[in-house]
Chains A and B, each alone.
Chain A
């Protein structure tokens, strides 16, 4: 199985002197392609800092971060931006849908970012929304959708450009149990494929069953990584 994400001895400190906060203290993590990896742990343990580094939005002080073989520390700012546009999909806790855009237009944004014409981007986004059961809500604005529907639009937006890595930050935190479960099922069904990987930061133990691997973090370190089988056992 190919390695999707390979973090080695990643260190990140915010601030200096007495105010310095060591967010990551030498994190080593491997996430395999075709798997969903959950990052779990208490607040402030470094989960978000780690996925921010994996998504190429934060440069670690030391250590290596490789995503599908690309050492993102070696990429220039411009290449990193282009890398994110093509290779990474995002699902945010607060959805971050643009309120003035319809569901289709919101879902089409990553395609527009990589330069696809609006019409084609909308066509592809609409097709994906149909698959996600939102055919009747394509032209609705976020304010007209329920939380679960908004999250499905956000999932469509994360997947529409077929990225190899999908990064999710607390994707079920703003949803009720049923909607959260439905969102995770969709992520598993659409995003976890042979050459793709999903990394999810979560506190929600109700979704642990969707993971192939669960990495427990504490105090800026990975304490242990357990496979689903091991968890079940």
Chain B
């Protein structure tokens, strides 16, 4: 009887396409927005994620997330280094800096000051140039997307100059640093040079990056640092989530994306529900005939569920495919959406939502079929 159910479904092409469109539309909306939301939240912590060598971040006790920088005294670095369980610790500077090209283009950059000696904190993804050239005078590294933002359409080239807060800077390396939440250009420079670019008060140390000694857990070492220094120390994973949690709790981003996702679900239920209801209503006599001919309620419900499942699978496949195309093509570097992706668990979650949409949409129709009097065929 499954074939009969499918032939009934495919036979009404307009409604079948309407149903598939409804599910595909809802899936596309939910998946795309879900992926964008996850990407955006991941982007808030991209600076933390890009520092792979360190597994502990030490900061001012009042810091709430990566972008609330309150400078510490440089002497804090030595105190952190003195805590048992710390393998090494290096300074890290983070600030926003105005950038100007020689031909007058201006923008804003995220300036990251990395350890002078070890260059810990520099993106590991080097597209062009050599990290060690950062030791040269005025040398900086810029991310590829930032480079193309300053010089659109031009080939990547080392040795180009720009002004960083009215200071000369020479590009010696181009990185593939992850896109940041607050800036479109990411510049890495040795720590001492970075603080020279943006002269501030006496305290300049934004963060201390540290690594737990072998055999020690970052969380326990972080706790020891806090106890010994009074500073806030978190494992990279904890700091990442603290940052994401801040944006989740203190901004309207989740509500905005959540509303679109809810709308996608509601519109999906409405389109699929109404169309499926029309489909069932127009086929009510056929269902009645099948019931009269001895098809049990259970098998009839099975047929309707099969029809709904096929619609759900087709629509989900198309919607997911379109969303995958979006994330494949629209997020290519150096575009504004670079780095956004579609995690498997977002797709899996959307599969669950799609199933919910189809089930809710079919609920009224199923009831209609269940209470259908087979004697309708005699009227």
Contact = CB atoms under 8 A, between A and B. Distances in A.
Chain A bound to chain B: yes
Given A81-B296, A90-B293, A110-B293, A96 B285 contact: yes
Contacts, number: 79
Given A78-B296, A81-B294, A101 B375 contact: no
Nearest to A169: B378
Contacts of A85: 293-295
A160 B117 CA distance: 90
Contact of B4 (A52, A83, A88, A105): A105
Contact of A112 (B1, B12, B286, B375): B1
Nearest to A86: B294
Given A85-B295, A105-B7, A118-B3, A98 B286 contact: yes
Contact of B292 (A78, A84, A114, A118): A84
A93 B375 CA distance: 13
A94 interface: yes
Nearest to B298: A78
A92 B295 CA distance: 17
B374 interface: yes
Contact of B11 (A52, A88, A100, A109): A100
Contacts of A51: 378
B290 interface: yes
Interface string B206-219: 00000000000000
Given A52-B378, A82-B296, 18 more contacts: A48-B378, A78-B296, A81-B294, A81-B296, A81-B297, A82-B294, A83-B294, A84-B292, A90-B377, A92-B378, A96-B377, A98-B4, A98-B286, A98-B289, A110-B294, A112-B1, A113-B294, A118-B3
Interface of B: 1, 3-4, 7-8, 10-12, 285-286, 288-290, 292-297, 373-375, 377-379
Q: Which 4 A-B pairs have the closest CB atoms?
A: A85-B294, A100-B11, A96-B289, A84-B294
19 contacts: A48-B379, A57-B373, A57-B374, A78-B296, A81-B297, A85-B294, A90-B292, A92-B378, A96-B285, A96-B288, A98-B289, A100-B12, A101-B11, A109-B293, A110-B294, A112-B1, A112-B4, A113-B290, A113-B294
